[in-house]
Chains A and B, each alone.
Chain A
């Protein structure tokens, strides 16, 4: 086998491997999508039905039963609201830790990350009681605050990793030109980090969109996002797989489309710092 052939074979094998992984990961989503067009009987049939006459009945039922627009709006407000709030806090934090590290910076970063290791259910009762006492149960404000706190460590870490790779000389040059710390962040750091910030924001939005634990525990009717809508289609007594699939498809659709348009930034963000 010539070197050229070996290279070709390697490319084909790598491609095949990547496609296999991608298909395995995508299969549950594909199955959910086609199940949403089946009847309940077809959805549970064994062996599974592959060829069937698709119908939109399940989507009609979901539209009739749930206020999709309200749930979707709640998801949009909480995901985007918490991401913006988290970025407002995280950008100055990451800036100061990246460019003016103190003795305890590393400890602070590790401590922030350690908060992610605490199981959410461990703080459910105190947070629930706080929300009750401040009248925040079933409000989007509560979810925005919780989501912000939940994603803040990841956002700070991602931005910190990016900021610390920026050449310090650029900031020194700006300072020589009389830039204040505010100017440094707004006029120098932010324009250089648009890619990193947008990919971080995207990741945060996706994490908030998919969050179910707090959404289910802190909301009822007014602030319930799409994850709570999906949960309402599981039934203890009755067949529900097709309708549940339709609800899930509708819940996933906006974020999948959004992610599709932003995939370049997402991949860039997830891989920054990977190759130096």
Chain B
């Protein structure tokens, strides 16, 4: 090779390298903050598909523990740091942050088909008719039970059974000598832990968090009935140490075959019916959440969703990513590659209408029914001023709910009476609402 051709080759290589470097540099990089849930992890694996379709956008992931995620994204959004371009948020944050102008409205134009998103989920993520976060997967709560144990005890479980009936089934199934407990429920303190379940129970007992004037109602007879019932049920027929159990602990117990019933998030259905995770996968039945005096608010509504902070400099790229990740096309992509039992559920009507999904997911009908029956705008028997089924969508609720959760957990552990727990929770809530200027 002559010197000239060598030089030409070197120039060509350098120019190619420079051009690729320039094109790589010109790609917009977006950072997505999320939680370590199965569906989210799958989304990370499909990132190359997104980047192939949108070569001008590169995606970086930050996966965090739920509590840390909440703290980090709140810090980021409140301080307008612009550290994240897309953040995973829940139904509690979306309307509050939307109202404050901290989130960009989701671009639902064109082929996105926003009408396909389940109305209750769409409503829960909107403020004043504008959707501020796009649902990635949604969930409600329902009863999951062991068909074999319930049948052997000569009992039956149906949709919307009464809590009394659930207690009777728990008593009939309970056999601690064989390591089987009648019912597993959340007991760990936290507004998203024990209080999520406790609030749905209280709703069905006719209770509400606040009256029309935002006065806390935790000392009402309805709350006392609900919490007393819950404490009695779990103390008699629950596993030991229930006051420290949350979703994962109950999931582990149920999958090990130690729970007769478990009332929790519908997303659990895909775990308890998966033979790779569950020893009782072929014995699980589903039913709609139990009720007491009303069906209103008897099962919760939640959606892990993708929001775009107003401080991001990459709004367009973030919108493109959010539209892709929450689209029908993405659900089809996951269904075709990973199987239809693995698609993110609880968001779009088209998923439930898909025969392939209906065939793969035995829990599909129960899940859809639960989600559709939840109405965040009307979840209490008596009128209430707030939106949300298992929470009140006001900034003060995190602190109020967590304090109440600690008190209820204390009552379950036996360190407080139900009356003492509710009195303390109410006093604390009253103080916070006064300080916040509600009255």
- The interface residues of chain B lying within 8 Å CB-to-CB of A237 are 37-38, 247-248, 265, 267-268
- The interface residues of chain A lying within 8 Å CB-to-CB of B271 are 238-239
B contacts with A: majority SS: mixed
Within 8 A of B (CB), among A6-53: 40-41, 44-46
Given A40-B277, A137-B83: A231 and B61 interface contact (C-beta under 8 Å): no
Whether B66 sits at the interface, judged by CB under 8 Å, is: yes
Per-residue interface assignment for chain A, residues 39 to 79, with 1 indicating a CB less than 8 Å from any chain B CB and 0 otherwise? 01100111000000000000000000100000000000000
Bound-state Cα–Cα, A216 to B69, Å:
9
Quick check: A232 and B277 within 8 Å, CB to CB? no
Quick check: B37 and A235 within 8 Å, CB to CB? yes
Quick check: A44 and B252 within 8 Å, CB to CB? yes
Shortest CB distance A134–B (Å): 12
Residue in A45, A221, A236, A239 with the greatest tally of chain B CB atoms within 10 Å: A236
Quick check: B248 and A235 within 8 Å, CB to CB? yes
Partner-binding segment picked from B28-36, B165-173, B200-208, B430-438: B28-36
- The interface residues of chain B lying within 8 Å CB-to-CB of A240 are 36, 248
Whether B68 sits at the interface, judged by CB under 8 Å, is: yes
Whether B54 sits at the interface, judged by CB under 8 Å, is: no
Whether A220 sits at the interface, judged by CB under 8 Å, is: yes
Quick check: B65 and A41 within 8 Å, CB to CB? no
Whether A129 sits at the interface, judged by CB under 8 Å, is: yes
- The interface residues of chain B lying within 8 Å CB-to-CB of A234 are 36, 65-66
Among B35, B61, B81, point to the contact of A235 (Cβ < 8 A): B35
Quick check: A238 and B258 within 8 Å, CB to CB? no
- The interface residues of chain A lying within 8 Å CB-to-CB of B75 are 128, 217
Whether B255 sits at the interface, judged by CB under 8 Å, is: yes
Among B63, B265, B279, point to the contact of A232 (Cβ < 8 A): B63
Whether B153 sits at the interface, judged by CB under 8 Å, is: no
Bound-state Cα–Cα, A44 to B252, Å:
6
Per-residue interface assignment for chain B, residues 106 to 131, with 1 indicating a CB less than 8 Å from any chain A CB and 0 otherwise? 00000000000000000000000000
Whether B308 sits at the interface, judged by CB under 8 Å, is: no
Whether B72 sits at the interface, judged by CB under 8 Å, is: yes
Whether A197 sits at the interface, judged by CB under 8 Å, is: no
Shortest CB distance A109–B (Å): 34
Shortest CB distance B45–A (Å): 8
- The interface residues of chain A lying within 8 Å CB-to-CB of B38 are 235, 237-238
- The interface residues of chain B lying within 8 Å CB-to-CB of A239 are 248, 251-252, 255, 271, 277
Whether A187 sits at the interface, judged by CB under 8 Å, is: no
Shortest CB distance B354–A (Å): 23
Per-residue interface assignment for chain B, residues 262 to 273, with 1 indicating a CB less than 8 Å from any chain A CB and 0 otherwise? 000101100100
Quick check: A65 and B62 within 8 Å, CB to CB? no
Whether A168 sits at the interface, judged by CB under 8 Å, is: no
- The interface residues of chain A lying within 8 Å CB-to-CB of B252 are 44, 46, 239
- The interface residues of chain A lying within 8 Å CB-to-CB of B65 are 231-232, 234, 236
Bound-state Cα–Cα, A236 to B83, Å:
23
Residue of A nearest to B253 (CB): A46
Among A44, A138, A233, A235, point to the contact of B256 (Cβ < 8 A): A44
Among B41, B68, B79, B258, point to the contact of A216 (Cβ < 8 A): B68
Within 8 A of B (CB), among A179-221: 216-217, 220-221
- The interface residues of chain A lying within 8 Å CB-to-CB of B268 are 237
Among B33, B35, B79, point to the contact of A220 (Cβ < 8 A): B33
Among B44, B68, B256, point to the contact of A46 (Cβ < 8 A): B256
Residue of A nearest to B75 (CB): A128
Bound-state Cα–Cα, A129 to B80, Å:
10
Bound-state Cα–Cα, A129 to B76, Å:
10
Bound-state Cα–Cα, A44 to B37, Å:
17
Given A216-B64, A233-B36, A235-B248: A132 and B277 interface contact (C-beta under 8 Å): no
Bound-state Cα–Cα, A260 to B423, Å:
55
Shortest CB distance A20–B (Å): 27
Given A128-B79, A221-B62: A65 and B68 interface contact (C-beta under 8 Å): no
Quick check: B256 and A132 within 8 Å, CB to CB? no
Whether A224 sits at the interface, judged by CB under 8 Å, is: yes
Per-residue interface assignment for chain B, residues 65 to 105, with 1 indicating a CB less than 8 Å from any chain A CB and 0 otherwise? 11010011001000101011000000000000000000000
Given A234-B36, A239-B252: A132 and B71 interface contact (C-beta under 8 Å): no
Bound-state Cα–Cα, A221 to B224, Å:
47
- The interface residues of chain A lying within 8 Å CB-to-CB of B276 are 41
Quick check: B277 and A235 within 8 Å, CB to CB? no
Among A40, A129, A232, point to the contact of B36 (Cβ < 8 A): A232
Shortest CB distance A127–B (Å): 11
Among A65, A129, A132, A228, point to the contact of B41 (Cβ < 8 A): A65
- The interface residues of chain A lying within 8 Å CB-to-CB of B277 are 40-41, 239
- The interface residues of chain A lying within 8 Å CB-to-CB of B369 are none
Shortest CB distance B319–A (Å): 20
Quick check: B62 and A220 within 8 Å, CB to CB? yes
- The interface residues of chain B lying within 8 Å CB-to-CB of A232 are 36, 62-65
Instruction: Give 7 new A-B contacts, CB below 8 A, not counting A128-B81, A234-B36.
Output: A41-B279, A44-B255, A137-B83, A217-B71, A220-B72, A232-B62, A236-B35
- A positions within 8 Å CB-CB of B: 40-41, 44-46, 65, 128-129, 132, 137-138, 216-217, 220-221, 224, 228, 231-240
What would 28 A/B residue contacts be, using CB atoms closer than 8 Å? A40-B277, A41-B277, A44-B252, A44-B256, A45-B256, A46-B253, A65-B41, A65-B44, A132-B81, A217-B71, A221-B31, A221-B61, A221-B62, A228-B64, A231-B68, A232-B63, A234-B36, A234-B65, A234-B66, A235-B35, A236-B35, A236-B37, A237-B268, A238-B36, A238-B37, A238-B271, A239-B252, A240-B36
User: Which 4 pairs of residues, A with B, have the shortest CB-CB distance?
Assistant: A232-B63, A44-B252, A234-B65, A236-B66
